[in-house]
Structure 1
Amino acid sequence: MKTILRNFISVLRRFRMATLLNILGLSIAFAAFMVIMMQVSYDYTFDSCQPESEAIYRMDMQYQGEQVAIMSRPLARAFTESSPHIKAGTLMTSWTSDGFYSVERSGEIQNFQDPIATVTPDFTRVFHFDMVEGDETALEQPKSAMIPESIANRLFGNESAIGKQLMGGTSGKVVAIVNGVFKDFPRNSSVRNIIYLQMDPKENYDEWGNSNYYFFFRMDDPANAEDVKENFKKNFDKTKMAGSDLDWERDKIDLHITPLTQLHFLTNASYDSMPKASRQTVQVLFAIAFIILLIAGINFTNFSTALTPMRIKSINTQKVLGSPDSLLRLSLLGEAVIISFVAFLISLVVLHLAENSFIASLVDADMSLGVQWKIIGVTGIIALLVGALAGGYPACYITSFPPALVLKGSFGLSPKGRVLRSTLVSIQFIASFILIIGSLFMFLQNHYMQSAPLGYDKDELIVVELNSKINKNLSVLESEIKTFSGIEAITCADQILSSRDYYMGWGRNYNDKPFCAVGSGCILWRISLVGELCLPYSDLLVGISGSLCYCFGHYFYNRYLPELASSKFESGGKYKVGVIRL
C-alpha cells in the first residue's frame, strides 16, 4: 500500500496537469451522474412510500371515447360496495386550492395560506399515514381536518395540534378542527403534504352527472382487481343513472383501473392533475447518465494511455531490476482507483454546492446528501469500478511487452499503441456527439415550449395575489389602482391565465338543449366582472354568467355555441350575459 501511495504522489508531481484534468473530468461526471440518477430514482420510485402500493388503484372513466380521471360520487360508491375484495374506497376533490385561514397562537390570531383538499373519511384506510397525533379515524368527525407534521410545527410550534381550530381568513368562523397530524410524505408521493378536510357527507351524494372526484380503492389482492371491475360492469344497474346527464350506453362509458405504482406515468387521462413523468424521458435520462460515465471513463483511459510513452520505459526498467509484473500492475491499478475515488469525493462537494444553486430547481428530487445516501453509496462503488476498469487495461497492457522492445524503440508510435488510442478516441467522439445532438433537440423543445404563443400578450402584465378580505372589496381596489398613471386596465381571475385548466363537472342547457356536456371541460378560465378584460389578441371566447366570466376555446364555441355569438340577454335582471369574440 505504501508503494502504491508513493507511486501515486510521484505521478501527481510528474504529471500534475494530466492528473488534475483526470480528477476534474471524473468529478464532474460523477456529480452529473448522481444528479440525473436522483431524478430517475424520484420517478421510478414514485408512491413507493405506500405499503402494499400495488394493491391501491385509481379508477378512471371513459366518456365518449376519452379517458377522464374524474368520476361521480354515487358511481364510486356503487363500485366500492360491489365486491368484498375491495377493502376500502375513497374520494378526493380533483383540485386543490390555496386556502386563507387563521389560527390562534399565544393569544394572537395569525393568518396562513396552504393548499387544501377535501376527502372522504376512508382516505386514511386506502392510503397509509404514519400518524404523529391521532389515528386513522381522524377524518370521521364533522369539520375534521388532518395536517402534515411540517404544517403543524409551523402553526403551533411544540404544542399539540389536536383540537386546534382553523378559522376562516376573514370571517373568523371555525371551518375545521385538527383531529390528526401525519408524518410528512416524501416529494415523490401522490398523497401530498397539504391540509385534508372531511368532505361534506351530503355533497353530490346522489349526483350521477357531477364528476368532480378522484376515486381510489384498495384491494385485498391485486390479482382480483380486473375481475372485480369486469364483474361490476356486467352486473351494475345502469338504470340508476336515469334522469342524470350521464347515460352508460349513449356516452359509451367504460371503466379503467390504474395501479398507484403506474399512476405517475399515466399521461393519457384528461382532468388528471397528479404529478406526471414520461417513462421514455426517464429512460433517456438513465441512458444519458451512463453515457456520461462511459465518456469520463474513456477520457480517463485516454489520458493514461497518452502517458504511456513517458511511463513505459520507467516501468520496464523496474521490471529489468526485478520488480514482478503483478506488483507493477497493482501499483498502476491502485493509482487509477485512487484518482477515481478522489474525484468522487470532490463530486460530493460539487453536489452539495449544486443543492443551493439553480440546478436544484431543475430536479424534482431532494438533493440533500443525507436523503440520497443510497445513490451516493452506489456512485462510490461505481467510482471504484471506473478506476479499476479504466486503469486495469492500461496497467496490463503497459506491462505486457518485453523490456527489450520498449527500451529500444518508441511504443507510442507502434501500430498497437496507435490502434488502442484511435479506438478509444473514436468511441469517445461517438458518445459525445450522441449527447450533443440529444441535448440540442432538448434545447429546441424547451425553447419551443417557452416561446410558443399563448393566445394573449403577456408582456407588460403584472400579476398580484389577493387575499379573501381584498376580494370582497374589488371595486375599491380597482378605483385605487386606476389612479396610478401607466395602468391601462385591471381584471381579476381565479388563476393566472394558461397556468392550469379549470373544468366544469356539471352541465348547462340553452334552449332546453345541453351546450356544455358533463365532462366536456368547457370552462378554461373564470374572470370577475370588475375591470376590463385586457387580452389584446386573445384566441378565446368569453361568456359572462352571473358575476363570473367564462372563457371558451374556439373548438368548443364552434361545436356548441354558434347561435350565441354576439347575443346579449338578461340574467336575473342584474348582469348581462353574452358571448364575445375578442
Structure 2
Amino acid sequence: MIRNYFKTALRSLLKNKGFTFINILGLALGLAICLLITFYVVDELSYDRYNIKHDSIYRVNTDLKFSGTLTQYAITATPVANVLKTECPEVETAVRITPALNIRFKKGDEIVREDGATFYCEANIFDVFTLPLLSGDAKTALKEPNSVVIAESMSRKYFGDNDAIGKSLFLVTSGTSLKVTGVMKDMPVQSHFRANFLLAADPVNNDNPWNKLTAFATYVLVKPKANIKHLETKLNMAMQKGLEGSSTINYSKFSAGGNYFKLGLMPVTDIHLKSNRVMELGTNGNSQYVYIFSAVAVFILLLACINFMNLSTARSANRAREVGVRKVLGSSRKHLIFQFLAESLIVTFVAAVIAVFAAWGLLPLFNHLSNKELVINIQTASWLLPTLLSIVVVVGILAGSYPAFFLSAFQPINVLKGKIATGFKGGVFRSTLVVVQFAISIFLVIGTLVIYNQLNYIQNKDLGFNRNQVLILNNVNTLEHPEILKQEIKRLPGVMNATLTSFLPTANNKVLNYVSPGENKTGQSTQFWRVDNDYLSTMGMHIKAGRGFSDKFKTDSLAMVINETAAKTFGYGDNAIGKTITTGIGKDIKKYHVIGVVKDFNFSSLRDNVTPLVMALDNDWLARLSIRINTHNLPALMAQIKKTWKTIAPNEHFEYSFMDADFDALYRTEQRMGQLFILFTGLAIAIACLGLFGLAAYAAEQRTREIGIRKVLGASAAAIVGMLSKDFIRLVGISFFVAAPLAWLVMNKWLQGFAYRDNIQWWVVLLAGAGALFIAFATIGLQSFKAAGANPVESLRSGD
C-alpha cells in the first residue's frame, strides 16, 4: 500500500512539472540556507568542546570595582592557582597562562614575529587542556627551563619535514635558545585561544603577598560533582584573607569605600560566546548573532513551508475532480491524506538532496562572508544525516499537512457540480500565511537597513582624530634605537610627521591605571598612555585648552595631557591646566602637572563611551611607528620607507598597516554579519515571492469564470488586474503594520549596544513597506496580467 502511495504521488508530480519545479526550488533554497546557518550555529556552540574534560574546566575571572568603576578581567591575581590547588579539595589542578609579548624567533637570517599565538604556561597545562603531542612526553615536556612545545604547522615552518624534537629555536627577544621538547597537533579553530608555541616558565616567583591582582589567565580542573558556588565562596574568602596581610592593599579599608574584588568561575565552553572581558586570550564571538541567525533559519524554513502550502493549495481546483472521482470510487479520506503526504515527502526529500549539494557549493562563499573555516566531513555527516532525515519528515508532514487535509475534505457532490471553493476571500488560513510571510520579509528588510545605516554612521563619524593617511610600522620595538628610524623617516619627502608609541586609537594596547587628581582625593580608574612629543599632531587630535607636549619645555617630562572626560571626572571643569595628578604608591609615587586638555576622541569600539584618559611623555617598549603621509605618490614613498627600514634593520621583517584599515577591523564582525543579513534577507524575499506567486495563481484559477464574464461585459485589463491585486496588497499592508513595530523594537535594542549610534529613521520603515508593496505587486502582476489577457471564451469554457 505504501509503495502504491509513493508510486501514484510520483506520477502526479511528474505530470505537473512546473508546479513540482517551483515547489522543489522554494524548499531547496530554504533548506540550503537553513543548513548553512545550522553549520554556523553548531560551529559557534562547539568552541572548546574538543577538550575531553570540557565539562570540568573553568576559568577564574576577576571583577574589580574601584571608585565607582567596575572593570571585568579575564585574568586573576598571582596566587589564585596555588590557593585552588592547596586549599580546595574539590579541585584536581589549576594552571596559569599568560601571553608572551614581543616574541621573535630567528629562522635562518630572517627574524619572524610570533606574537598572538605564543604563551608562557605552567607544565601541567596538558592535564587541563586536551593538547595531544605527536612527539615528546606531555608529563615532562615543559618541566625544564627554556623548553618549548610547538604546533605541528610551526614544526614544518621552522624545521621542514625533519623531526623537531631536540632542535633549538633562538628567541631573539631574550637572546636565549629554546629546546623543542614536544610537537603538538594544531589547536582546533574552535578554541577561545590558539597557541602555536607553549613556552616553559615559572611565571610566579613569589605568591605572597598578593602584589599582582590581575596577572594571569587561570584555569581550574574541578572534580566531578564539585559545588561551583561553594568553591567561588571559598576562593573569595581566601583572597580577602590574603589581601589583609598584603603590603599592597588593606582590603577592609578598601571595601569600606564600596570597592571590591570578586572572583568567579566561568565554564570554558561559555567563554567564546559569553565573555568580553579585559585581557582575553583571544577574540571571542557574540551570542546575539547565534540567536539572530537561529531565528533567521527558522523564519526561512517557515517561509519555505508556507510556499509549499500555498502552491499545493493553488492546484486545488485542478485536483478537485481527481479527489471527487476517487471518493466516488471508494477512496477514504485517510487514503487521500496519505497520498498527498507522500507527494509532500517526495518533494521534500528531493529538495533536501538538492539543498545539501547547494549548501556544499555555497560553503566557500559563506566561509568568506562569515570568516569561518566550515567543512563538510565525516564528523559533520554523523549529525547532518540524522538531522536532515528528521527535517525531511517534519517539513514534509508540516508543509503537506494543510494541502492534504484541505484537498481531502472536498465533498464529491460539490466537486462534480463545480462548487469546490469560495475563492480567495474565503481562504482565511491562506491569507494568514501571506501576512506571516511578508511580515517576516519586511522585518528582515528593516533590520538590514538599520544595520547598514549604523555601519555607515560608524564609518563617517568624527572620532576626534584623523585615521586617514596614517601608515603604521610594526616591529619597531625590535630595534635598538627606534628613535633613529623615526628621525630618518621624518626627513623623507611626503612624510608630514611621525610618532613612536603603541597606544593608538585603533589598537588593542590599552592600559588601565589609578591616578589621584589632587591631594587627599580618591583614586580614579583611567587609561594611562605613554606617548612622545609628536603624538597629538600626528594623530590629528585637537587641543581644547592649554597645549600639547613640546621638546622646548624640559618640565614636560612630568607633564600630562588629559581628555575632556578625565577633566570632567576629576572635577576640574574648565580649570584643568596646572592641576596636579599623582600616580603610583610608596616609593613609586610620581606627581604630574596638567598642561593641556585634548578634545575627546574614540579610542575603543563605538559600542563604548569615551572614558577618562591621561597621556604622559615616556618611552614605550612595545612602540610602533605611526607616520602621517602624503599619499600623492604612495608607491614611491612606500619604497623609500622600506629602504630606510632595511638600512637600519636589514634582518627584521618589514610589516605595516594603515590606520583606517585597522579601524575597519574593529567592526569587521558587524560588517560580515551585515553582509550575511543582506544575503539572507534577499533570499527570504525571493522565497516569499514564490509563495505569493503561488497564491496569486490560486486566486486567478479560482476566479477564471468571473474574469471571463467581466471581460465579456466590457471590463478592461487594468480593472481586472486591480480586482485580482487589491486583496493581496491589503494583506501586505497588514504585514507592514505587524512587522514595523516589532522590527523597530528589536533593532532599537540592538542599537543600544552602541554608545554612539544612528537612530532609526522614519524613512527606513517606510522604504521597507514601499519596497514590500512594490515587490508584491510586481509578483502578483505577472499572474494578473496573464489572467486578464486570457481569451474569455476559453475562460468560460474552462469554468464549466
Could you state the TM-score of these two structures normalised by the residue count of structure 1?
A: 0.81
**Deviation for aligned residue 1:344:** 2.3
2:348 aligned residue (317, 340, 356): 340
Which amino acid in structure 1 is aligned with residue 29 of structure 2? I
Q: Distance in 1 between matches of 2:317 and 2:15?
A: 17
What residue in structure 1 maps to residue 539 of structure 2? 535
Is 1:406 paired with 2:415? yes
Q: Which residue of 2 aligns with 1:182?
A: 184
> Aligned ranges for residues 25-40 of structure 1 at < 5 Å?
25-40=26-41
Q: Is the 8 A contact 2:97 2:217 kept in 1?
A: yes
**In structure 2, distance between residues paired with 1:551 and 1:19:** 72
2:470 corresponds to 1:461: yes
The residue aligned with 2:134 is: 132
User: 1:116·1:197 contact (CA, 8 Å) conserved in 2?
Assistant: yes
Shift of 1:87: 1.8
- Listed one character per residue, the Cα deviations across residues 497-553 of structure 1 (whole Å, up to 9, x for unaligned) are 32324225x778999999987xx4623x55567888512236899889999999865
Deviates more, 1:556-565 or 1:144-153: 556-565
- Paired with 2:50 and 2:133, the residues of 1 have a C-alpha distance of 14
CA change 1:228–1:6 in 2 (3 A) is closer
* Residue from 363, 368, 390 that aligns with 1:355: 363
Answer yes or no: is the 8 Å Cα contact 1:75–1:208 preserved in 2.
no
Q: CA offsets, 1:215-248, max 9 Å, x none?
A: 2222224533332343344456436653225746
Contact 1:23/1:339 (8 A) holds in 2: yes
After the TM superposition, which residues 481-520 of structure 1 pair with which residues of structure 2 at under 5 Å, given as runs? 482-485=491-494, 487-494=495-502, 497-503=505-511, 520=525
Give the alignment partner of residue 431 of structure 1, picking from 440, 443, 454.
Answer: 440
Give the partner amino acid of 1:368.
V
Measured in 1, the distance between the counterparts of 2:371 and 2:324 equals 52
Kindly provide the amino acid, as one letter, of the partner of residue 351 in structure 1.
A
Structure 1: runs of 5+ lacking an equivalent: 569-575
Q: Shift of the alpha carbon at 1:199?
A: 2.8
Give TM-score, length-normalised by structure 2: 0.61
| Aligned equivalents of 2:43, 2:346: Cα separation in 1 | 31
SS at match of 2:416: helix
Query: How many residues get paired?
Result: 564
User: Is the contact between residue 501 and residue 530 of structure 2 (CA under 8 Å) also seen in structure 1?
Assistant: yes
Q: Deviations over 1:134-158 (max 9, x none)?
A: 2143222111222223333333343
Displacement of 1:297 in angstroms is 0.5
- The one-character-per-residue Cα deviations of 1:330-383 (angstroms, maximum 9, x if unpaired) are 4433332232233223323332333322x3244365321126435633145313
**Greater Cα offset, 550-559 or 18-27:** 550-559
SS state at 1:431 partner: helix
Is the CA contact 1:456–1:535 (under 8 Å) kept in the aligned structure 2?
yes
Distance 1:510 1:416, change over 3 A: closer
1:316 deviates by: 3.8
Given the superposition, is the C-alpha separation of residues 448 and 424 from structure 1 closer, same or farther in structure 2, using an over 3 Å criterion? same
Q: Is the 8 A contact 1:143 1:176 kept in 2?
A: yes
User: Which digits, 9 at most, give the CA deviation of each residue in 1:186-226, with x for residues without a partner?
Assistant: 32322424322123445675563332222222222453333
Partner of 2:587: none
Distance 2:277 2:158 in 1: 36
Residue 41 (structure 1) aligns with: 42
**The residue matched to 2:119 in structure 1 has which SS?**
strand
Q: Residue in 2 aligned with 1:573? A: none
Q: 1:425 to 1:234 in 2, by over 3 A?
A: closer
Instruction: Describe the SS at the equivalent of 1:133.
Output: strand
Given residue 88 of structure 1, which amino acid in structure 2 is its aligned partner?
T
Residues 146, 551 of structure 1: CA spacing in aligned structure 2 closer, same or farther, 3 A cutoff?
A: farther
Q: Indicate the residue corresponding to 1:220 in structure 2.
A: 223
What is the distance in 1 between the residues matched to 2:418 and 2:285?
A: 58
1:58 aligns with 2:59: yes
Give the direction of change, closer, same or farther, for the CA distance of 1:400–1:42 in structure 2 (3 Å limit).
Answer: same
Q: How does 1:412-427 map to 2 (within 5 A)?
A: 412-414=421-423, 418-427=427-436
1:572 is matched with: none
Alignment of 1:518-529 (within 5 A): 520=525, 522-523=527-528, 527=531
Q: Report what 1:571 is aligned to.
A: none
Q: Which residue of 1 aligns with 2:96?
A: 91
Measured against aligned partners, the alpha-carbon deviations of 1:157-209 in whole angstroms (never above 9, x if no partner) come to 433222232223588x4442222222233323224243221234456755633
Superposed displacement of residue 495, structure 1: 6.6
Counterparts of 2:480 and 2:338, CA distance in 1:
75
The 2-side partners of 1:515 and 1:538 are apart by 29
Segment of structure 1 superposing worse, 297-306 or 210-219:
210-219
Distance 1:418 1:261 in 2: 49
Equivalent positions of 1:253-268 (< 5 A) are: 253-267=261-275
Shift in alpha-carbon separation, 1:77–1:3, aligned structure 2, 3 A: closer
- 8 Å CA contact 2:150, 2:182 repeated in 1: yes
CA distance, structure 2, for counterparts of residue 207 and residue 546 of structure 1: 35
Kept in 2: contact 1:305–1:394 (CA 8 A): yes
Cα distance change, pair 532–400 in 1 and its aligned pair in 2 (3 A): closer
1:145 maps onto 2:153 in alignment? no
Aligned to 1:383: 392
Q: Which amino acid aligns with 1:177?
A: K
Equivalent in the alignment of 2:122: 120
The separation in 2 between residues aligned to 1:369 and 1:552, in whole angstroms, is 53
SS of the equivalent of 1:356 reads helix
What is the distance in 2 between the residues matched to 1:270 and 1:542? 29
Asked whether the 8 Å contact 1:539–1:553 carries over to 2, the reply is no
Q: Name the CA distance, whole Å, in 2 between partners of 1:547 and 1:375.
A: 64
Contact 1:369 / 1:376 at 8 angstroms: preserved in 2?
Answer: no
1:241-300: CA deviation from partner (whole Å, max 9, x where unpaired): 532257464153332222223333444744445544444543343233212211111112
Q: Residues 88 and 217 of structure 1 are in contact (CA less than 8 Å); yes or no, is this contact kept in structure 2?
A: yes
User: d(CA) in 1 for partners of 2:439 and 2:328?
Assistant: 40
Q: CA RMSD in A?
A: 4.2
User: 2:218 & 2:342 partners in 1: Cα distance?
Assistant: 58
2:247 aligned residue: 243
State the distance in 1 between where 2:295 and 2:412 align.
42
- Gaps (5+ residues) in structure 2? 581-591, 599-800
Tell me if the contact between 1:61 and 1:68 (Cα under 8 Å) persists in the aligned partners: yes
- Hey, what does 1:397 align to over in structure 2? 406
- Identity rate of aligned residues, in percent? 24
Q: 1:285 aligns with which of 275, 288, 293?
A: 293
Letter in 1 for 2:58: Y
SS at match of 2:263: strand
